[in-house]
Structure 1
């Protein structure tokens, strides 16, 4: 299936608004020893958490937030190791399990802002695009895999996704990593999309065109 792809906007973000809910802030405040967080004004919760975090050493604070967000995915030993490593390295980009990159980004940026840059600054990329099928009878529910394969023609050969997964971007092979590379993909009409990923995977300089044609063939198991 061939599509006309138009990139309508691109932003680089150092935080994603509303990733942390009021409930998250209240639970984290409790973990950091802040009493009666439930009674605080909702608009003040983030600022209160920032102050509570800085009562701890950076690696201790990192371990608390990591445990809250990733205790189901990481062991205590792994959390301890990451809480120290992330002070020096961009773990949200370098950790071998790319399925954890999104959460590690959100954790890192909370700590980066709380400690005024003690943690490396990692960034996200958000783009909006319009997908128009060249065959007007085409009907399909776009997946993250499909989205990435459609982008191939619009990205430079130096793009990291193309360099690491070139065969999956251009062929009919399954591309399960797409679910982790694209952190979030939203649409209200099946045509206009807002997509969030890491600057590590996709940056402004990776685009060679903002309007191009892409081709994607659904695999049989996807259609089922």
Structure 2
């Protein structure tokens, strides 16, 4: 399948807007045994949560949030290890199971701001790209197709291309694509918005703004 790929924009962010809901803030305030916040706005709830978190030792606070957010998927030993590692490294980049990266990024962002930088600073990339197929097709562009289209305009030394070269080339099923791309939105005019880790793709990784690419699609 041939696409005309146009890179429209790449920006770095340290917080994904709208990731935490009103109910999330209320639930986490309860985790940290904060009193009734009344009719506080979401912005006020966020600030109150930062205060509530910072009343605890950093590793304990990390463990409490991890338990609340990921306790059904991680055991106690894993939570303790991650809460320890979070103070030393960006676990949203280094944790072995990449399916947790986006949620670890969100948790890291809360802790980073609550403790004024005591936790490592994590970054994400927002990428806007246009992928125009040469022929009409009913095929829906998904995360795997988007990454295969981007790969030819990304430096060969990038972590993603080194780890997933066979998947990007269509030699193996690219099941990891949905974990590499944290949020994927279809826009108008064959345009797409991708949010991923700065670790996987960042503005310095791109080698071109436009390219015709021929990608392999699994049956």
User: TM-score per shorter chain, which class?
Assistant: over 0.9
Q: Structure 2 length as normaliser, TM-score?
A: 0.96
Q: 1:141, 1:190 within 8 Å by CA — same for their partners in 2? A: no
Deviations 1:126-149 (A, max 9, x none): 1001111122x2231011111111
Distance 1:123 1:205 in 2: 14
SS in 1 for 2:11: strand
Q: Residue 99 of structure 2 corresponds to which residue in structure 1?
A: 99
Distance 1:162 1:41 in 2: 43
SS in 1 for 2:30: helix
- The answer for unaligned runs of 5 or more in structure 2 is none
The alignment yields a C-alpha RMSD, in angstroms, of 1.3
2:216 maps to 1:217? yes
Report the more deviating stretch, 208-217 or 86-95.
208-217
SS in 2 for 1:67: helix
What is the correspondence of 1:4-43 to structure 2 with a 5 Å cutoff?
4-37=4-37, 39-43=39-43
Q: Residue 180 of structure 2 corresponds to which residue in structure 1?
A: 181
Distance 1:4 1:38 in 2: 53
Q: 2:12, 2:126 within 8 Å by CA — same for their partners in 1? A: yes
Q: 1:123 to 1:61 in 2, by over 3 A?
A: same
Deviation at 1:39, TM superposition (A): 3.2
Q: Residue 67 of structure 1 corresponds to which residue in structure 2?
A: 67
Distance 1:71 1:153 in 2: 39
Q: How many residues align?
A: 219
Deviations 1:37-77 (A, max 9, x none): 35323331101101111110101110111111111111112
What is the correspondence of 1:115-134 to structure 2 with a 5 Å cutoff?
115-134=115-134
Distance 1:194 1:95 in 2: 25
Runs of 4+ off more than 3 Å: none
SS in 1 for 2:164: helix
What is the correspondence of 1:198-209 to structure 2 with a 5 Å cutoff?
198-209=197-208
- The answer for unaligned runs of 5 or more in structure 1 is none
Distance 1:193 1:185 in 2: 7
Q: Residue 157 of structure 1 corresponds to which residue in structure 2?
A: 156
Distance 1:163 1:112 in 2: 30
Distance 1:86 1:107 in 2: 10
